[in-house]
Amino acid sequence: MKALRIYTDGACSGNQEAENFGGWGAILEYGARQKELYGGEVNTTNNRMEMVALLRAFEALTKHDQNVEVFSDSAYLVNCFREKWHENWQRNGWKTSAKKPVENRDLWESLLPHVHAHQVRFFRVKGHVNLNSKTLKTAPLYEKFIAWNGDSFSFDDFAYVTEMNRRADALANKGVLAAKDGLVCDYPGT
């Protein structure tokens, strides 16, 4: 079964400040078809925006039990599902191993039914990489990508996924600008 790919990113301008502006972006891709989504919020965090990007992408799907590949530069998001942190959190009454409340519980609980409704694999991407930079050494970045995700990806796959992450980042930054302009809502892209 062909995979539906989701590329996500979140952004937050003033992440640690009392007043800030966040944005999220997602690209859904099935074969040659793509759909872009973005939005923004006031007074949020980068981690929340990373999670909202994936949540909005899942909400845009019209079918269940799909083969889904998620590409994100958020170790927080990817590792939660790959390492099944959420299972321990749920067993512990949504407490961490340090017995503290899990941050962003509302979003984790919203994401879980979507993840369970599909066959989902998570892949980590290094964020903010411009492969067109003349000074960038791409071989170590590709090696890191393979170390994170396995050796089934060619260099061309890596380059494509990296570019899609840059596009998701650009969408997230559009969301930040929308939030700064007081337009706090979700936007369908192209």
Where are the domains positioned within the chain? 4-188
Over range 181-188, report the average pLDDT: 65
pLDDT digits (tens, 9 = 90+) for 69-108: 999 999 999 999 999 999 999 999 999 989 999 999 999 9
51 pLDDT above the threshold of 90? yes
Q: Which two tokens stand for residue 33?
A: 């078809």
Dihedral sign computed on CA atoms, order 146, 151, 153, 156:
positive
Over range 41-68, report the average pLDDT: 95
DSSP-based three-state secondary structure for 107: helix
What is the reported pLDDT for 14? 84
Cα separation, 11 vs 181, in Å, equals 16
pLDDT digits (tens, 9 = 90+) for 99-155: 999 999 999 999 999 999 999 999 999 988 877 777 788 889 999 999 999 999 999
Q: Which two tokens stand for residue 84?
A: 């099944």
What is the reported pLDDT for 187? 52
**Residue 186: band (very low, low, confident or very high) from pLDDT cuts 50, 70, 90:** low
pTM score of the predicted model? 0.93
* CATH number at 4-188: 3.30.420.10
Q: Which two tokens stand for residue 78?
A: 């990817």
What is the reported pLDDT for 15? 73
**Residue 184: band (very low, low, confident or very high) from pLDDT cuts 50, 70, 90:** low
Cα separation, 86 vs 75, in Å, equals 14
DSSP-based three-state secondary structure for 8: strand
| φ, ψ at 10 (rounded to 5°) | -130, 155
17 pLDDT above the threshold of 90? no
